[in-house]
Amino acid sequence: MGSFGSVYIGLLDQTQSIVAIKILDLTHHGASKSFIAECGALRRIRHRNLVKVLTACSGFDFNGNDFKALVYEFMPKGSLEEWLHPIASQYTERSKLSLLERVNIAIDVACALDYLHHHCETPIVHCDIKPSNVLLDDEMTGHAGDFGLARFLPEAMHKLLADPSSSVGIKGSFGYVAPEYGVGSTVSTQGDVYSFGVLILEMFTGKRPTDDMFENGLDLHRFVKAALADRVEKAIDPILLQEIEESEKRRIVAPEGKNKSWCSIKECMVSMIELGAACSSKSPKERMDVGDAVAKLQGIRKKLLEFIVIA
């Protein structure tokens, strides 16, 4: 179940291809506009880190009611949400996301946003970046999906101005929406960067931005900023800390080498959290451009690969 309908798994008879079919609930306010926005976005884009649309359907169902659906390439590994926060039945089906996998997925999402913001004929703002909208293929490659809230930025004014003709209302998901949207600011690429920053922090702390611990002025951004100033281990997902400890046990090196590798991996995690904090700054002007974030992330991965043990 999603914001504007349900997603089903299906099989195409002719090719025997497994697909994902998003059927819109047209009784939901804004569903038709969401369908139009998503079709408009998908018609214009093609990138390896965006969920591929196969076709769109618009007609009538068996009862004569309006019927609209989008057919996507199926992502067999599910969503990032399911890996970060598995329900009880998924613990036996999924292994834990490794540090390197998280860095790779972060790069995938950043590359998708960089393409949307800077390399489309008409720049696009996704407007709803969150773990449930990041889907994973067999190779654990991340794909940004669900363009139901996408906005198109006019070519001549694509830095901060949105095209009113494509408006479907300022929406998004609580905890991931840029704070300036709440006071009426125009949709911008920096709003996506904020959501991406929150996503990064969630991936490396294991905490949702809506966690019960965040109250009385404390939020995920402030939580990690305080940890960076004190002891960053307090903020890092315990699953990642356990992975590093197990990795060090398998590494046959002198004590000083072991200590060096731990420090280097820790530095990479600190860099990831610092990047997430920089992208989720309250002020849009203080946020990193997503193109710069891609370059920074690729540098972190390169450094990480020099030290991490891949099981």
Tell me the per-residue pLDDT of 152-196, one tens digit each, with 9 for 90 and over: 776 423 333 333 333 344 557 889 999 999 888 888 999 999 999
* DSSP 8-state code for residue 121: S
What is the rounded CA–CA span in Å between residue 258 and residue 256?
5
Q: How many residues are given for the chain?
A: 311
Three-state DSSP state, 131: helix
Of 196, 208, 279, 278, which Cα lies nearest the Cα of 237? 208
Q: What is the pLDDT of residue 89?
A: 62
Q: Tokens at residue 278, please?
A: 């920089």
Torsion over CA: 41, 42, 44, 49 (sign): positive
Please state, as a whole number, how many other Cβ atoms lie within 10 Å of the Cβ of residue 91: 10
Give the DSSP H/E element, type plus range, for residue 275: helix 255-279
Q: Tokens at residue 3, please?
A: 């914001």
Q: Which residues are catalytic?
A: 128
What is the rounded CA–CA span in Å between residue 293 and residue 26?
38
**Residues 201, 220: contact at Cβ < 8 Å?**
yes
Q: Tokens at residue 184, please?
A: 């009426």
For the CA atoms of the chain, what is the radius of gyration? Answer: 20
What is the rounded CA–CA span in Å between residue 240 and residue 168?
39
What is the rounded CA–CA span in Å between residue 19 and residue 12?
7
Which residues lie closer than 8 Å to 64 by C-beta, 6 or more apart?
none
Q: Tokens at residue 56, please?
A: 């769109």
CATH of domain 78-305: 1.10.510.10
Amino acid letter, residue 12: L
Residues of the chain with pLDDT under 70: 3, 88-95, 154-171, 248-262, 308-311
What is the rounded CA–CA span in Å between residue 189 and residue 178?
10
Which residues lie closer than 8 Å to 298 by C-beta, 6 or more apart?
107
Measure Cα distances from 113 to 96, 220, 265 in Å.
25, 22, 26
**Residue 281: phi, psi to the nearest 5?**
-60, 150
290-305 and 99-118 helices cross at what angle (nearest 10)?
150
What is the rounded CA–CA span in Å between residue 270 and residue 264?
10
Which residues lie closer than 8 Å to 125 by C-beta, 6 or more apart?
116, 117, 150, 151, 152, 153, 162, 187, 188, 189, 191, 192
Three-state DSSP state, 220: helix
